[in-house]
Structure 1
Amino acid sequence: MSEIQWKIETGHRGTDDPAVAADAWLLQLLREKTNWTERKTEPFSFGICDQNCWIAAASGTYLFETCYLDLIATDPGCRGKGLATALLRHLEQECLKRGVRRIFLSTQDFQAPGFYEKQGFECCGQMTDVPFAGTTRFFFMKTLSE
């Protein structure tokens, strides 16, 4: 078997922008495997205000049939009042409206892995020493039903 001769291309398929060309090629592969005709990506963010001050918020992205929750936080002085739980319930309802049936997130061992378990999320993996030595990143998913 001969060795593959390769190089990193800087643009092709009708464009000089390598990011656009690579993205178009990746989307074509996706279409062939899934029958999706477009990338259905929608960022979101929402939160809870008290007297015009943010006290809790969440943000992430809907991608196809999955929601990726990137950040959720509650002001330290407002913790323990159910605000993060309310944000997750709101997110679940928004997901169901969009036909999204899974929520995926990651959190650190020093953050709130126990909170997500109490909210019905299941740990589906973990990585030690990520993003730095001495910590563990946990990955959680929740499947939603009507």
Structure 2
Amino acid sequence: MDNRALSTVVEKLLSMGIVLLYIGLVTTTLYGGTVPAYQSAVGAELGDRTLAEATARVEQAIPPDARAVSATVRVSLPETIDGAGYSIRTDGDALVLDHPHPDIGSRAQPVLPDRVDTFEGEWQAGSPTVVVVSGTQGNVTVTLEAER
């Protein structure tokens, strides 16, 4: 009995098995470790950039020294970071980005003039946001709020 034709079939089946095993291992490695780590790093970077932009917009919203101050500046924020909602709030004289993911979130200190007496408010992601600056020459209030 001659079984030479069977050796070709076995060779092809072994080759396909090795290729499928390789694809399975690569997929498991990527989705098990590399891709989530990359997504987390990108989310943290976007969070830092968002907070830096928000800090810059707060600083730019405060007009030069004047008798009476009244300004409203719109601030554009991403709707989500890493697929989740977040908020930016004041904490003393700092801005804090709060996010459900523990690796995403940071704190920044805007450079505010001495005449800024009150710095308060909070922004929720996904809604239009503004910085409202009001007051007199020596008593300025800066408020983060939703656009009306």
TM-score scaled to structure 1, two decimals? Answer: 0.27
TM-score scaled to structure 2, two decimals? Answer: 0.26
- Larger relative contact order (C-alpha < 8 A, sep ≥ 6)? 2
* Structure with the higher helix share, 1 or 2: 2
